[in-house]
Amino acid sequence: MSAPQAAAFPCPGCGAPLTVRAPGRSEAVACEFCGSVADAQDPAHKLLSRYTSAMTFTPLIGLGTRGVLRGEKWECIGFMRRAVRYYGVDYAWGEYLLHNPLKGFRWLTESDGHWMFYETLTEPPGKAPP
Ligand SMILES: [Zn+2]
């Protein structure tokens, strides 16, 4: 069985080419140009929502970038810029969603040049043996 290939379609907001990087598993695709969010699973790719402000941060790893990390091949298919305000100071970080058709999804987080690589658990961790 081969991995599904990325599928492309025009953005319903501006017509720019959008790519579904994990076909069958992606629910939505955001347009980097106009902020529209399109339904990745609907054959007509209907418009789900529109962000009013454009992204102002350039990700350190571009969407679609492929590389090897810890001996496995990964493709960066998503990015979020997040922040918290603590006693009036904003602390921001970036979270990159990585995908490998055989391994699933992992997160690569960057904060002030420090990187963390992790996998989301689908079950609570078990108790440590006595
Ligand atoms: Zn667009």
Locate the domains of the chain by residue range: 1-55, 57-130
Give the Cβ contact number of residue 93 at 10 Å.
15
Is residue 90 a contact partner of residue 83, using CB atoms and an 8 Å limit?
Answer: yes
pLDDT in tens, 119-128: 988 888 887 7
Band of residue 76 on the pLDDT scale cut at 50, 70, 90: very high
Please state the pTM of the whole predicted model: 0.74
Q: How far apart are CA 14 and CA 95, in angstroms?
A: 26
If you measure from the C-alpha of residue 35 to the centroid of ligand 1, how many angstroms do you get, rounded to a whole number? 6
Residue 61: both structure tokens together: 């790893």
Strands 89-100 and 114-118: unpaired
Distance, CA of 66 to CA of 98 (rounded, Å): 9
With 80 as the cut, is the pLDDT of residue 113 above it? yes
User: In angstroms, what is the span from residue 40 Cα to ligand 1's centroid?
Assistant: 14
Q: Per-residue confidence at 1, pLDDT binned at 50, 70, 90?
A: very low
What is the topology classification, in CATH, of domain 57-130? SH3 type barrels. (2.30.30)
| C-alpha 33 – ligand 1 centre gap (Å) | 5
Distance 128 CA to ligand 1 centre (A): 49
Distance 95 CA to ligand 1 centre (A): 22
What is the share, in percent, of the chain residues with pLDDT greater than 90?
A: 50
Under a CB-based contact definition with an 8 Å cutoff, are residues 6 and 21 in contact? yes
Residue 67, pLDDT score: 97
Centre of ligand 1 to C-alpha 38, Å, is: 9
